[in-house]
Amino acid sequence: MSEQEKPMDDKSYDLNKLFDFFEYWRKHTHPTEFYNEGWLLKVLVYAITDFGLTDHELYVNEKEQFFSEGLLRSPFLTNGTKNPFAESHTHADGAIGDFSIGNAKHKGLLELTGNKLNIFEAKINSGFSTGVTNASFFNQAARYIACITETIGKEKVLDDLSIGFYLVVPESQFEKKNKKNNDKMNFKEFLNEKHILDIVKRRVDQYKDEADYDERKEWLETKFKPVIEKLAINNLKPLFYEDIIAELKEYTFIDKIKDFYDLCLENNGLEKKYNNTDNIKSS
């Protein structure tokens, strides 16, 4: 495959082969090795693109690419010096847009090369993480938006960019309180614009006694706030698996996708949605 070619260009791929592979290996490893949100997202990105739903958020056109587990640059890195508030880059379950993937010491780091960056966080039966080592309050939703802001870069004009952050989740889980979170917040509350802004401001204020505090406050006002405002207006919203699958109702592999989704739910402690897992065992 040449550098110009992208995996989503291969319209001949048979999803049955992937599902058969999972079915075979589930007997020899933990089922959640395959029946998880990461693989579910990949399957749906491929299906939406293969089916030609060009207006869908998960569609990858010929000028874009999809990458899983890419790194988004954090605005709170160590920068070579020891800092009690620092953190590392964050992993994105999925990214669609115009970007390059770093290698060597920047392995997996996403660098925006065009005008589009859509980031996806996929969940099944887990909530947003509530913090990082040096900031126990800095939850995953707020951290994502901060890292998207930093990944966009200082040289980009926000008005020229198409950016998005999408939580992909079962509909039943979106407003459900997560018992593992100390704040007992649900996804809807975590994605509230004011909540995210307050959390990131609190993160910046950790540096109030540091030499670069003024620079960080400027970043908050001139970079972060415009990004969160744009995301909130356009598409700071969830994508429900059930809605995505419904849009694929005429797709060749729709029954297998439903079966796969059921197995993802079942193996992650939730009730099946479509209740027909026998089909996934036969081609």
The pLDDT value recorded for residue 39 is 97
The pLDDT value recorded for residue 130 is 85
> Where residue 134 falls among pLDDT bands split at 50, 70, 90?
confident
The pLDDT value recorded for residue 45 is 97
pLDDT digits (tens, 9 = 90+) for 69-94: 999 999 998 776 777 888 888 999 99
- Does pLDDT of 215 surpass 50? yes
- Does pLDDT of 6 surpass 50? no
- The count of structural domains within the chain is 1
The pLDDT value recorded for residue 87 is 84
What is the span of the domain harbouring residue 64? 54-247
The pLDDT value recorded for residue 235 is 61
- Does pLDDT of 183 surpass 70? no
The pLDDT value recorded for residue 4 is 39
The pLDDT value recorded for residue 8 is 58
* Domain-embedded: residue 14: no
* Domain-embedded: residue 160: yes
- Does pLDDT of 234 surpass 90? no
pTM, full prediction? 0.88
pLDDT digits (tens, 9 = 90+) for 8-22: 555 557 898 999 999
* Domain-embedded: residue 30: no
Q: What is the mean pLDDT of residues 210-239?
A: 90
* Domain-embedded: residue 126: yes
- Does pLDDT of 279 surpass 60? no
Instruction: Tell me what the pLDDT averaged over the chain comes to.
Output: 87
* Domain-embedded: residue 147: yes
Alpha-carbon distance 229 to 89, whole Å? 23
Q: 56-61 long-range contacts, Cβ below 8 Å, gap at least 24?
A: 56/244, 56/247, 57/96, 57/118, 57/164, 57/166, 57/235, 57/239, 58/96, 58/120, 58/239, 58/244, 59/96, 60/6, 60/8, 60/96
Alpha-carbon distance 214 to 10, whole Å? 49
pLDDT digits (tens, 9 = 90+) for 21-60: 998 888 899 999 999 999 999 999 999 999 999 999 999 9
* Domain-embedded: residue 29: no
The pLDDT value recorded for residue 12 is 57
- Does pLDDT of 249 surpass 90? yes
* Domain-embedded: residue 140: yes
> Where residue 140 falls among pLDDT bands split at 50, 70, 90?
very high
* Domain-embedded: residue 203: yes
